[in-house]
A and B are shown apart, each in its own frame.
Chain A
């Protein structure tokens, strides 16, 4: 999205933007506003979201508190990067900054079951915190993370 706006800005150097370009620009700005709201919600409710997930995980995997802490740290980081990737509409940002970084660590610690469980709980929690439209905007980035880390 940032690139789209950039290209419109470059285009405006040579001429006034056409109606279609302006409509595109407005749509980008409108979309950015929605994304900002989602980002702000996730940021403001980070602790609440993950505390709920942590409590449920603790009862599902009561013998493994250290692994739960590690998995929570992973997904705190992943959700933060998903948020920024969503805000800038940049799946490559998510890929390079975290999804090429974590898979082998998750594999080495043999935490796939726990992380899969955490991911399901996190999705459920996010669906309650965000409305359906907001969740659908964030969802592709969560799915991108799931595909890279858990499948």
Chain B
């Protein structure tokens, strides 16, 4: 027989750590925002981001994408560390011991609480060695100007580092569709760099996400 008193005393019963009204705390007088652990959050205006992108493009030209991707990777590593710490503390178990569905739910809520969009990882291609991530209302796409191909390099780098840290394997990330080009969502494919190599040319050729996915899975 299940003893409810034991059940209550032996387990913590937490809800959504990243509920926006609890996670983001602000102080109007000081103009500061911080998360529920008291760590500072930074709000970046669109104008500043657009200025940074333009400045970088004029300084390094076509290499700007690579620079931003690497920035995203570096940020992603730190982000994963902070995310793991906060989630482990709140749910009182290491990230490695959390169920995947619970962890992914944390990531989705975290993404939303930070205002980065609605993220939806898709593990259907796990057996083929790929992870697909879809992001709607991406904050990263909203600052891209006059792009000719998917250009959310920071977001791609962030995803690459996050899932590399999570899986313990170096995963590359390629964006295959972009809201800044009129697509309904940003889509990304993550996998080993060697397996993703053919996708780079296909993105340049403006092939659709589904066509790229089909081609990658056939090449196995």
Which chain A residues have a beta carbon within 8 Å of chain B's beta carbons? 46-47, 50-51, 54-55, 58, 65, 68-69, 72-73, 76-77, 80-81, 92-93, 96-98, 100-101, 104-105, 108-109
Contacts and interface: CB of A to CB of B under 8 A. Distances in A.
Contact of B2 (A72, A98, A100): A72
Given A47-B8, A76-B7, A101 B2 contact: no
Enumerate the 3 nearest inter-chain pairs by beta-carbon distance, A residue then B residue, closest first: A101-B16, A96-B19, A77-B13
B21 A93 contact: yes
Contact of A58 (B2, B8, B16, B105): B2
Interface of B: 1-5, 7-8, 11, 13-16, 19-22, 99, 101-102, 105, 109
B9 to A, nearest CB: 10
Contacts, number: 66
A54 B2 CA distance: 7
B8 A100 contact: no
Nearest to B106: A101
Contacts of A77: 13-15
B133 to A, nearest CB: 16
A104 B2 contact: no
A76 B15 contact: no
Contacts of B16: 96-98, 100-101
A108 B101 contact: yes
A54 B109 contact: no
Contacts of B3: 51
Nearest to B104: A104
Nearest to B16: A101
B14 A92 contact: no
